Structure 1
Amino acid sequence: MRERIPVVVQGRRARRPAAVRVLWTGAELAVTLGAVLLLLVVHQLWWTNRQAQSAARDQVGRLERQWDARPAAPGPDPAPRDGRTGARGAAGAAPSGPSARRGGSRAPEPPRDRAYAVLRIPRIGLTVPVAQGVGKAAVLNRGYVGHYPHSAQPGRAGNAALAGHRNTHGEPFRRLDRLRPGDTVLVDTAEARYTYAVRRTLLRTTPGDGTVLAAVPYSSVHPAYRFTAPDSYLTLTTCTPEYTSAYRLVVWAVLRSTQSR
Structure 2
Amino acid sequence: MWAPGVVHHGTRRRRAAYRRAVWSGAEVFVTVGVVLLLLVVHQLWWTNRQARHDADHQVQALEREWGRAGAPEAVGSAQGGDDSGSGSASGSASGAGDGERDGKSGAGDSTGAASSRGTAADSARATPRWSQAYAVLGIPRLSLRVPVAEGVSKADVLNKGYVGHYKGTQQPGQAGNFALAGHRNTHGEPFRYLPRLRRGDTITVETKSAVYTYVVDRILPQTSPSDGGVIRPVPRSTVRPSYGYRQPGYYVTLTTCTPDYTSRYRMAVWGKLTAMRPR
For structure 1, the 5+ residue unaligned runs are 1-12, 73-95
**Does structure 2 conserve the Cα–Cα contact (< 8 Å) formed by 1:102 and 1:157?**
no
Work out the percentage of aligned pairs sharing the same amino acid. 58
Tell me, in whole angstroms, the C-alpha distance in 2 between the residues paired with 1:224 and 1:235: 16
Match of 2:174 in 1: 156
Tell me, in whole angstroms, the C-alpha distance in 2 between the residues paired with 1:98 and 1:62: 27
Q: CA deviation at 1:15?
A: 7.4
When structure 1 is superposed on structure 2, of 120-129 and 97-106 the one drifting more is: 97-106
Match of 1:47 in 2: 46
Match of 2:145 in 1: 127
Classify the secondary structure of the residue corresponding to 1:119: strand
Tell me, in whole angstroms, the C-alpha distance in 2 between the residues paired with 1:63 and 1:98: 23
1:38 and 2:37 aligned: yes
Change (3 A) 1:106 1:184: closer
What amino acid sits opposite 2:23 in the alignment? Answer: W
Greater RCO (CA < 8 Å, at least 6 residues apart):
2
| Mapping of residues 217-256 of structure 1, within 5 Å | 217-256=235-274
1:260 and 2:259 aligned: no
Tell me, in whole angstroms, the C-alpha distance in 1 between the residues paired with 2:258 and 2:15: 51
1:60 and 2:59 aligned: yes
TM-score using structure 1 length: 0.83
Cα deviations by residue, 1:135-168 (Å, 9 ceiling, x for unpaired): 0111000000000111000111000000000010
Tell me, in whole angstroms, the C-alpha distance in 2 between the residues paired with 1:32 and 1:217: 50
What amino acid sits opposite 1:199 in the alignment? Answer: D
**Does structure 1 conserve the Cα–Cα contact (< 8 Å) formed by 2:123 and 2:209?**
no
**Does structure 2 conserve the Cα–Cα contact (< 8 Å) formed by 1:48 and 1:168?**
yes
Tell me, in whole angstroms, the C-alpha distance in 2 between the residues paired with 1:104 and 1:66: 20
1:22 and 2:40 aligned: no
Match of 2:205 in 1: 187
Tell me, in whole angstroms, the C-alpha distance in 2 between the residues paired with 1:243 and 1:24: 35
Q: CA deviation at 1:99?
A: 4.2
**Does structure 1 conserve the Cα–Cα contact (< 8 Å) formed by 2:51 and 2:160?**
yes
Tell me, in whole angstroms, the C-alpha distance in 1 between the residues paired with 2:205 and 2:127: 16
Tell me, in whole angstroms, the C-alpha distance in 2 between the residues paired with 1:203 and 1:99: 30
TM-score using structure 2 length: 0.77
1:143 and 2:161 aligned: yes
Q: CA deviation at 1:171?
A: 0.3
**Does structure 1 conserve the Cα–Cα contact (< 8 Å) formed by 2:124 and 2:172?**
no
Match of 2:88 in 1: none
